Structure 1
Amino acid sequence: MECKPDNWRVYVPVRLTITIPLITAATPLSRGQMISAQDVTLSMVDLLRFRRQGFSTPENVIGAKIKKNIRVGDVIEQNDVCIVCRNESVVIRAGKSGMSITTKGTAMSDGVVGEQIKVKNDKSNRIIDAQVSGVGEVTVAF
């Protein structure tokens, strides 16, 4: 602080904390458990103490499967869940110019949103590359 007319200055120590909203566990979560809305909460987390990839909205994790045990209050990180899990059924979506096609498939590996994974089309038995777009859902370009 400073007062120029009286020519004095005071230095005040401050500690800045930058927080961001992230999804944390509201209940203990066990490996293999599917996340429900009651299992998670949005918490403000100190950015300096958290340097990994977390989730900012509950919709991104509800329905996902837990890969490891998570304690109450812990941030749910992207590597803690599989949005699309290996050997599980997924919806394959393809769309262009207002036209949309969906079919069922089987994920060949775990994946998080935005990641490219291999998916087996259950009708044709062809293995295709698809991008994870949501819980149990992948998108292909055609």
Structure 2
Amino acid sequence: MNVSASLNNTLTHDELLKDVISYVEQEFNPDESKNLRVVAHPLDSRITIRECDQDLSFYVAKSRTFTRQFPVKVKCATEKNSWKVYVQVSVAEMIETLVTNQTIAKGNTVDIDMVEVELVEARRVKDRSSNDISSIVGGRALKNIQRGYQIGQNDVCLVCKGDDVSIIAKNGGMMIKTSGTAIENGAKGESIKVKNNSSSRIVKGIVGDLREIYVNL
């Protein structure tokens, strides 16, 4: 990367910071397998950056593991115009998480326009949160949920006590479907009791999609 500069040029600082960000992204995530947020902190406005006749070199400590903040050394190594500057960089891994964009009262249905996917810093993502919208939308809130809350599947019941549900039994290529009534609340993947309306038997099944229960034949 070749960055030209003129004395005390603010835009030059900005261009240098952009190149530092590109270097750090490539260094830590060459396969673009993660969502990284890289922030290069502004240089002191009194720092002079002179023109460099060759590509700038960027360095970060080789022993460094993934940390939130560290310096990157930028160096111009020409014989007549040698200089270096350190840029402080913050790096955070971001994770897609469902966050509520409005208050949802207990018992209300969670509609698709009540939640949105946000990139949240990994260390701030709650264990209970989810990025699976199918495990949330259409269910009913099990408590009052505030705006900005990282919502998870255990915050809603996709099958709620008293709901009319579909009981689905699969065995190989055969599928039997009948109606039932939920005896308990259940989140996606949970095992709950349900009554088969045809036989009045109480069976246990796994909550699948909205108001669907899967049982073994």
TM category, shorter? 0.7 to 0.9
1:12-91 → structure 2 map (5 Å cutoff): 13-91=88-166
3-state SS in 1 of match to 2:123: helix
Work out whether residues 115 and 132 of structure 1, in 8 Å CA contact, stay in contact via their aligned partners in 2. Answer: yes
CA deviation after TM superposition for structure 1 residue 51, in Å: 2.9
3-state SS in 1 of match to 2:90: coil
Aligned length in residues: 142
CA deviation after TM superposition for structure 1 residue 96, in Å: 1.9
CA deviation after TM superposition for structure 1 residue 26, in Å: 2.1
CA distances 1:82-141 after superposition (whole Å, capped 9, x unpaired)? 111122221111112222111111122111111111111111110111011121111011
CA deviation after TM superposition for structure 1 residue 24, in Å: 1.2
Q: Does 1:141 align with 2:216?
A: yes
Separation (CA, whole Å) in 2 of partners of 1:67 and 1:96: 33
Separation (CA, whole Å) in 2 of partners of 1:111 and 1:137: 10
Work out whether residues 42 and 57 of structure 1, in 8 Å CA contact, stay in contact via their aligned partners in 2. Answer: no
Q: Does 1:124 align with 2:199?
A: yes
Separation (CA, whole Å) in 2 of partners of 1:30 and 1:73: 14
CA deviation after TM superposition for structure 1 residue 11, in Å: 6.6
Q: Which protein is bigger by CA-based radius of gyration?
A: 2
Separation (CA, whole Å) in 1 of partners of 2:198 and 2:134: 29
CA deviation after TM superposition for structure 1 residue 27, in Å: 2.2
Separation (CA, whole Å) in 2 of partners of 1:11 and 1:116: 56
| Aligned alpha-carbon RMSD (Å) | 2.3
CA deviation after TM superposition for structure 1 residue 53, in Å: 2.5
Higher relative contact order (CA 8 A, sep 6+): 1
- TM-score normalised by L of structure 2: 0.58
3-state SS in 2 of match to 1:17: strand
Separation (CA, whole Å) in 2 of partners of 1:40 and 1:88: 23
Q: Which runs of 4+ in 1 moved over 2 A?
A: 8-16, 57-60
Separation (CA, whole Å) in 2 of partners of 1:9 and 1:127: 74
CA deviation after TM superposition for structure 1 residue 59, in Å: 2.5
1:76-115 → structure 2 map (5 Å cutoff): 76-115=151-190
Q: Which is further off, 100-109 or 9-18?
A: 9-18
5+ residue gaps, structure 1, are none
5+ residue gaps, structure 2, are 1-57, 60-74
